[in-house]
């Protein structure tokens, strides 16, 4: 063996470095997939709530209560749920990048797919009254 090999082996013994087992990587990968799906589910619930709030927003009487349509929308928009939806989609996209092979996909494609999946789940949740 050459000198470099001896130095590396000595450093491994000195620092007591051991290989990480395969099951640890598999467990991490499954946990990241679970977190990704969980945040997609929460994003679906948030989009269902937004759909419910938009549909039941007294659209027929806004001209009696507010000075104009823009003021009505500005004052009654579900900002919390829209921000929550955006945050959940960012976290889902962040987790997807760390899943095995997730780095291969373009971040915009992953974000767009996450948003579309959450909106589709939100439509299903809203249809079945889970908002």
Distance CA 90, CA 95 (A): 9
- Mean pLDDT of all residues in 123-128: 92
Query: In this prediction, what percent of the chain has a pLDDT beyond 90?
Result: 10
What rounded mean pLDDT belongs to the chain?
Answer: 83
Segments of 1-131 assigned E as strands = none
The pTM for the full model equals 0.71
Per-residue model confidence as pLDDT tens digits over 59-115 = 777 677 777 777 777 777 778 877 877 887 788 888 888 888 888 888 888 888 888
How far, CA to CA in Å, does 107 sit from each of 4, 80, 97?
A: 40, 25, 8
Residue with tokens 């909106």: 119
- Mean pLDDT of all residues in 16-34: 87
Distance CA 95, CA 120 (A): 20
Give me the pLDDT at residue 23, please. Answer: 93
Query: CB of 46 within 8 A of CB of 85?
Result: yes
Lowest mean pLDDT among 20-24, 61-65, 127-131: 61-65
């Amino acid at each position: 063996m050459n000198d470099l090999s001896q130095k590396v082996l000595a450093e491994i013994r000195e620092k007591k470095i051991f290989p990480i087992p395969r099951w640890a990587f598999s467990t991490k990968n499954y946990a990241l997939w679970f977190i990704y799906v969980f945040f997609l589910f929460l994003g679906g619930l948030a989009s269902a709530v937004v759909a419910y709030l938009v549909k039941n927003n007294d659209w027929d009487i806004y001209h009696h209560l507010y000075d104009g349509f823009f003021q009505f929308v500005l004052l009654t928009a579900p900002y919390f749920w829209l921000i929550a939806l955006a945050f959940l989609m960012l976290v889902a996209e962040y987790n997807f990048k760390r899943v095995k092979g997730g780095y291969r996909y373009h971040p915009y494609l992953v974000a767009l797919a996450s948003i579309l999946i959450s909106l589709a789940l939100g439509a299903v949740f809203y249809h079945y009254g889970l908002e």
